Amino acid sequence: MNNYIEIVKDALKSVATEFNVKSEKRVYVVVPKEKIIETAKIVFKDLGMRFAIASGIDTPRAIEIMYHFSPDAYNMLVNISVFINKDDLTIDSIASVITGAAWIETEIREMLGVTFNNHPGPEKLLLGDDWPEDLHPLRRDNKDTRSTAAIRERLRRDGLLTASD
């Protein structure tokens, strides 16, 4: 297991800025957002890891997207995170390397407002047809999305609230 972590560290040394080994089952890597496609190619094609899911969170300094890869034979997770500054919320889509990543990127775009360059996939998966374009429910810095009640208040102001209670 430690041998494999050394292999991963060696393969990612050209792109990773931080490499934390939390335990023998969990590895956390930070890469700059310009190198994400190169990282995806190394991890998916050369090392053969399975892409599990991606998760996004809104933090005070940036929006963090964490891609979770799983080398199943070694019983561990390799979590690769990128930090995207809020003044330029774009990142390359890894759907050109991993076809299965298109849907989760659509969900991240809908809920957090990150723009993915060259994104092939569906436009909307979670939110309704008449949802306002600038309302991203999982952002925490926006006054309108601070809480569920705030989102409902914003929908009521826009005249879109369908519930009568």
Question: Is 163 a binder of other proteins (CB under 8 A)?
Answer: yes
Q: Which is nearer to other proteins, 3 or 164 (CB)?
A: 164
C-alpha closest to that of 11 among 53, 39, 50, 51: 39
Task: Match 């892409």 to its residue by tokens.
Answer: 51
| Token pair for 54 | 């991606």
Q: Count CB-CB contacts under 10 A for residue 42.
A: 21
Question: Is 134 a binder of other proteins (CB under 8 A)?
Answer: no
Q: Which is nearer to other proteins, 130 or 141 (CB)?
A: 130
Q: Which is nearer to other proteins, 5 or 137 (CB)?
A: 137
* Residues 6 or more apart whose Cβ sits within 8 Å of residue 149: none
Question: Is 131 a binder of other proteins (CB under 8 A)?
Answer: yes
Q: What DSSP letter does each residue of 36-60 carry, written as one string? A: HHHHHIIIIIIS-PEEEEEEEEE-S
Q: CA end-to-end span of the chain, whole Å?
A: 56
Q: Which of 152, 157, 158, 159 binds other proteins (CB under 8 A)?
A: 152
| Paired sense of beta strands 26-30 and 77-84, if any | parallel
Q: Which is nearer to other proteins, 4 or 131 (CB)?
A: 131
**Least spacing, CB of residue 135 vs other proteins, in Å:** 9
Q: Which of 117, 126, 132, 141 binds other proteins (CB under 8 A)?
A: 126
Q: Which is nearer to other proteins, 26 or 152 (CB)?
A: 152
Residues in contact with other proteins by CB under 8 A are 126-131, 137, 148-149, 151-152, 155, 162-165
